[in-house]
Structure 1
Amino acid sequence: MSETQKLLAIDLGASSGRVMLGSYDGSTIQVEEIHRFDNTPVQVQGHLHWDVLRLFQEIKQGVREAARVHGKLLSLSVDTWGVDYGFIDHRGKLLYAPHHYRDQRTEPHRSGLEELIPPREQFTLTGNQPALINTVYQLYADLQDHPSLAESVKTMLLTPDLFHYLFSGVAAAEKSIWSTSGLADAVTGEPSHEVFKRLGLPLSLIPGLVAASGTVLGEVTPAIQEELGLGAMKVIAGASHDTASAVASIPYVNKDGAAFISCGTWSLVGRESEGPVITDESYAYGFTNEGCYGGTNRVLKNITGLWILQESQRHWAASGQRIGHAELAELAAAAGPAVAIIDPDDPLFSTPGDMPQRIAEYCRRTGQTEPRTPGETARVIVESLAHAYSVAIDELEEITGEPVRVIHMVGGGIQNRLLCQLTADVTGREVVAGPVEASAIGNIVTQLLALGLVERADVSELIAHSSSLITYQPSHRTNP
């Protein structure tokens, strides 16, 4: 390849977004942050919404800057968190700012939905663990609160599909993001006829599905090309769920015996499988099933991640004690073995606040020693995460009937080397850490595949050449 190809990955998280440039020279992918912006939800009349028009403007600003500095751009693709959506009316316009998954409108309608589709049956039909944040709960609540929506809405678009629509004018439902909704058939990935029938909704609410293997939807509209000073630029629906993009970036040597941990504010522990794992054990352990790039399944468990550490840092900073990530990792390492182990998913840690005090409260409640310093507190958090990972890995082995020999850790959390080493120690398994920019690299890779610039068989080697991978060997195993 004589010319470096340049593509954009728009990676939206629940607290911030980024426009990332991917440069492919035929042998490696280099990623560069072009524009970063906050993603702060907005309270409107007691409800929590995403400010999608501001987000779209921020994304366009990043695209404009990339074009100004780097010239010709081949394509863009958006990946985001799951479950949230916007309504498009019969004129093709967005009805209102989409609700945030933490909006409380779903709770009053929980029992109504669960009478129609009991939680265990939701899992059987869709492969998704029932949860108030799921699209199906949100959609049911919207229709109960505003029955007229059934007539005024033409199409429902999940968040990345909405941004692809705003860029291209093409409405499509990409399967990996769709698989998070609680509305899709567990086996086929198509809209579940049974779920839609019980909700009394037409299947036409969902636009045509496109496979999670990179689909060129069209080009950026002429109006946006003119606004941003672009040439023709393709819009691609890749692995549009951010976890699907992160998993697409894993440089597997062999998927057999491999599990993954996508590690950041949240931690997702799972493995790829040919089909969904829908058993009493997987339901009881809290595992869900979602789509991967290429049409396979990922069975995974959502565990609170470095959120607890980040909230602790915010509390210390507000008290005048600013401790950076690197310094805190050094303090945690120097603190030695954790004085206590907490459950990261305890409701005590689910909301913002004084996390060090909550950890002390948890330790008192469970008869354990309270950490006294930031280093001891950080060590408790990190070691507790490693223990939670170990439990999930052992559960994965049980529900899939296949051993886990190596764990691939990806995402920003792997910059905490103590966490990676403790994960190897506590699980007793080799850990391969990298890439850090997992969602962005996975996003770029799916675009390259859609454009025919790389072959699927070459992806793992390409990612390995493009990333700094670190292998951690277990020094011992500590039973959780």
Structure 2
Amino acid sequence: MQQVLLAVDIGGSSGRVVAGKFDGQQVALEEVYRFENGGSAANDRMYWDMLRQWDHIITGLSAANEKYGASIVSLGLDTWGVDFGLLGKNDELISNPFHYRDPQLDGILEWGFERVSREEIFSQTGLQFMEINSLFQLLALQRRESPILDFAEHLLMIPDLFNWLLTGEKANEFTNATTTQLLNPKTGEWALGLMEKFGLPAGILGEIALPGTKLGKLRCSVAKEIGNSEIEVVLPGTHDTASAVMAVPSTQLLSNQPNWCYISSGTWSLMGVEVADPIINDRCLELNFTNEGGVGGSVRVLKNITGLWIVQQCRQAWSEAGQEYSWGELVDLAAASMPLQSFIDPDHGSFGNPESMPQ
């Protein structure tokens, strides 16, 4: 019986469950289930709808089990970075996780730099400065005196949260932890001193787990719901870009083969190189590059660039106005348009989360 490995891959605008099979020479991938994803606005806040996402994960796993059953041996799950959920007493999820485009993040970088300098933060974390980083999301909660932090006992990144729901095991996977701006890439450990300087509760950060760690079988309730109790959950690089870079067809790091880089495009486009050690110096700080963890202990030195976010939001706005476009139709319309009529900076703040992207 050929073994089947399942991947749950969730991005900012869509998620999917994919079945992978290896015949000894070639990997064959089949998309079993796909769903749309996005933020939900309520009471001037922007959230991720965790329960809806969870329902889609269960539906997708059930569909995969219906097709492959006992052939399924393992499951790995990845998502975007920076966003997290907080568990309180008795492992209760305190709130739906905030979306990285929540308006509470406006101006938070400057507020943070008044307390700890940009240079000191970068020296300890090596991360590109963006308001969306987990550190600044925590500071935004602190700035508006949210009671959430008072009750928090565990911080789990989004894929860690789903893995906990799947298995009951709490683990902070390495590659996603490096997107928080709370981890020191030189040591591979949490920058607890930085947390303390900001007055943030360092105790909410758990033990770092590396890709390849086996979390165990599905919870009994989950196994019963999808109809399979033998699937083992294994940590991939739970940051989707880390797993994408792992799939780049190169067997050497940049230091040994200095003629390749990668571009991974989705809601965000990420362009960079894979190296053995973090690059943390004044030039990297000046250019606002980032050092994120890779699978196998590598470091991904890269730049986060706005990707398909603008067209995703335009498509959503047009849909709400009664004009539906498929992605194929948008590609055809773009191809038929006169090129180079205008130039925009997609990273400009006005495109962050406007009321109407087309306008």
TM-score normalised over the length of structure 1? 0.67
More displaced stretch, 224-233 vs 313-322: 313-322
Report the residue type matching 2:244 in the other structure: A
Report the residue type matching 2:332 in the other structure: E
| Corresponding residue of 2:37 | 39
| Corresponding residue of 1:161 | 160
Report the residue type matching 1:181 in the other structure: T
Distance 1:339 1:108 in 2: 33
Secondary structure of 1:10's match?
strand
| Corresponding residue of 2:21 | 23
Secondary structure of 1:284's match?
helix
Residues 352-374 of structure 1 deviation map (CA, whole Å, 9 limit, x = unaligned): 6465x7xxxxxxxxxxxxxxxxx
Q: State the 1:50 CA deviation.
A: 0.8
Q: Map residues 181-220 of structure 1 onto 2, 5 A cutoff.
A: 181-211=180-210, 213-220=211-218
Q: State the 1:25 CA deviation.
A: 2.2
Distance 1:299 1:19 in 2: 28
Q: State the 1:81 CA deviation.
A: 0.8
5+ residue gaps, structure 1:
358-480
- Asked if structure 2 preserves the Cα contact closer than 8 Å seen for 1:291 and 1:297, the reply is yes
More displaced stretch, 148-157 vs 188-197: 148-157
| Corresponding residue of 1:63 | 61
Q: State the 1:319 CA deviation.
A: 9.1
Secondary structure of 2:120's match?
helix
5+ residue gaps, structure 2:
none
Report the residue type matching 1:51 in the other structure: D
Distance 1:57 1:308 in 2: 27
RMSD of Structure 2 on Structure 1 (CA): 2.5
- Asked if structure 2 preserves the Cα contact closer than 8 Å seen for 1:124 and 1:186, the reply is no
Distance 1:146 1:341 in 2: 40
Q: Using a 3 Å threshold, how does the CA distance of structure 1 residues 100 and 306 change in structure 2: closer, same or farther?
A: closer
Q: Using a 3 Å threshold, how does the CA distance of structure 1 residues 79 and 156 change in structure 2: closer, same or farther?
A: same
| Corresponding residue of 2:332 | 327
Residues 431-479 of structure 1 deviation map (CA, whole Å, 9 limit, x = unaligned): xxxxxxxxxxxxxxxxxxxxxxxxxxxxxxxxxxxxxxxxxxxxxxxxx
Q: State the 1:326 CA deviation.
A: 5.0
Q: State the 1:52 CA deviation.
A: 0.5
- Asked if structure 1 preserves the Cα contact closer than 8 Å seen for 2:94 and 2:148, the reply is no
Q: Using a 3 Å threshold, how does the CA distance of structure 1 residues 147 and 308 change in structure 2: closer, same or farther?
A: closer
Secondary structure of 1:181's match?
coil
Report the residue type matching 1:74 in the other structure: V
More displaced stretch, 231-240 vs 40-49: 40-49
Secondary structure of 1:101's match?
coil
Distance 2:281 2:18 in 1: 39
For the pair shown, which has the larger CA radius of gyration, 1 or 2? 1
Distance 1:327 1:38 in 2: 22
Distance 1:105 1:311 in 2: 20
Q: State the 1:70 CA deviation.
A: 1.2
Higher helix fraction (1 or 2): 1
| Corresponding residue of 2:132 | 133
TM-score normalised over the length of structure 2? 0.88
1:265 aligns with 2:267: yes
Distance 1:74 1:216 in 2: 12
| Corresponding residue of 2:240 | 242
Distance 2:166 2:192 in 1: 30
Aligned residues: 350
Secondary structure of 1:33's match?
strand
The share of aligned pairs that are identical, in percent, is 37
More displaced stretch, 24-33 vs 266-275: 24-33
Distance 2:64 2:80 in 1: 24
1:12 equivalent among 5, 10, 13: 10
Q: Using a 3 Å threshold, how does the CA distance of structure 1 residues 282 and 174 change in structure 2: closer, same or farther?
A: same
